[in-house]
Amino acid sequence: MQGVILPGNRTVQLKEFEVPEPGHGQVLIKTKASSICGSDIRAIYRAHVGTGPEAYRPGTIAGHEPCGQIERVGPGCRKFKAGDRVVIYHINGCGTCAECRHGYMIGCDSEHREAYGWQRNGGHAPYLLAEEIVCVGLPDGLSYIDGALCACGTATGYEALTRMKVGGEDRLLVTGLGPVGLAAAQLGKAKGAAPIIGIDTSPARRNLAEHLGLCDHTFAADDLALRNILDVTGGRGCEVGIDCSGAPSARLLVLQAARRWGRCAFVGEGGTVSFDVSELLIHKQVTLFGSWVTSLKHLEDLVEHLDRWGVHPEVTCTDRLPLAEAARAYELADRGQSGKVCIVFE
């Protein structure tokens, strides 16, 4: 089979691989959808700048948002069988450290930790070998693209909103309307928050968020952004805010626009921020969460809730391309003007 590897320097290469054989406790998955995440662009595609858990092992099949159907199970599998539709929680932790016991394999720092698409083969190939314990059943009401988006990006938005306990009493600010920001807006809306206010530098991304009905107001990320947010919240600001951009100015805006006793989360990766702690955090009684992807349990909750709500992350997918056009898929994702880009099979 052909698999996509990312040599760096904005290049994509298709390479020949053997279809793997599932060993003990493993499943062979026929890949149906494998979307591109911002971290693939930031830490691997442009250049291999990732370190630690974000270090890409050269020659590894990329793609850490895979979803598909089980083709075959190896000996010792206890739950899944051929034909089951599954999303992959994209990290295999050691299974024995405190973070793994908690379900947050993302936070495992054992030498045995491996992420799909980073240190072990991921979803950009027709078949994927996965450990059964990181498979989460995909409800029939959700599409394979819905599932792929849940494997990292949508789950990242869900985790932060869950930690902030977002509900119907909240006004939600989202800075950065890339795929994770769109997911946060969509999930915030599903949880009852209103209005949803979106901020981005890109007019195309603001238009998409409004066109999809995910944001009630969108504003440019400029000097007027804070004033605009206060104008549509009666001068009080937002009960909850999430930064999905990683930009220092956007992180600052989330804190400035927070209402007293507000809850804020940073999920956009990289960079720094500098702010007046007394003015923006202490005296405003603000709670600030750092939140990294999600847990196995919350991924399971996410797909259950999406199915019950009839909410489909797939609506944020603007570009679907076959594996043979992976190079174009990465170019589109790198440009940062579209919604989610997904490699699809069949």
Residues at the site binding Zn ion, with contacts judged by CB under 5 A = 37, 39, 93-94, 97, 100, 108, 110, 152
Min. distance of Cβ 228 from Zn ion in angstroms? 30
CB nearer to Zn ion: give 3 or 63.
63
CB nearer to Zn ion: give 93 or 339.
93
CB nearer to Zn ion: give 26 or 39.
39
Min. distance of Cβ 109 from Zn ion in angstroms? 7
Q: Is residue 248 exposed (0-12), middle (13-18) or buried (19+ Cβ within 10 Å)?
A: middle
Determine contact, residues 104/129, Cβ cutoff 8 Å.
no
CB nearer to Zn ion: give 149 or 166.
149
Min. distance of Cβ 293 from Zn ion in angstroms? 7
The first and second tokens of residue 50, run together, are 């990732």
Determine contact, residues 242/175, Cβ cutoff 8 Å.
yes
Determine contact, residues 119/55, Cβ cutoff 8 Å.
yes
Min. distance of Cβ 19 from Zn ion in angstroms? 25
Q: Which helix (H) or strand (E) holds 146?
A: helix 144-150
CB nearer to Zn ion: give 287 or 318.
318
CB nearer to Zn ion: give 43 or 323.
43
The SS3 of residue 124 is coil
Tell me the C-alpha to C-alpha distance, in Å, between residue 152 and each of 10, 88, 129, 159, 215: 22, 9, 18, 10, 21
Give just the sign of the alpha carbon dihedral 324, 340, 148, 64.
positive
The SS3 of residue 177 is coil
Min. distance of Cβ 107 from Zn ion in angstroms? 8
CB nearer to Zn ion: give 42 or 236.
42
Dihedral angle, C-alpha 346, 62, 29, 73, nearest 10 °: 160
CB nearer to Zn ion: give 39 or 175.
39
Min. distance of Cβ 133 from Zn ion in angstroms? 12
The SS3 of residue 319 is strand
Min. distance of Cβ 99 from Zn ion in angstroms? 6
Min. distance of Cβ 97 from Zn ion in angstroms? 3
Question: How far apart are the two ends of the chain, measured CA to CA in Å?
Answer: 14
CA 66 to chain centre: 12
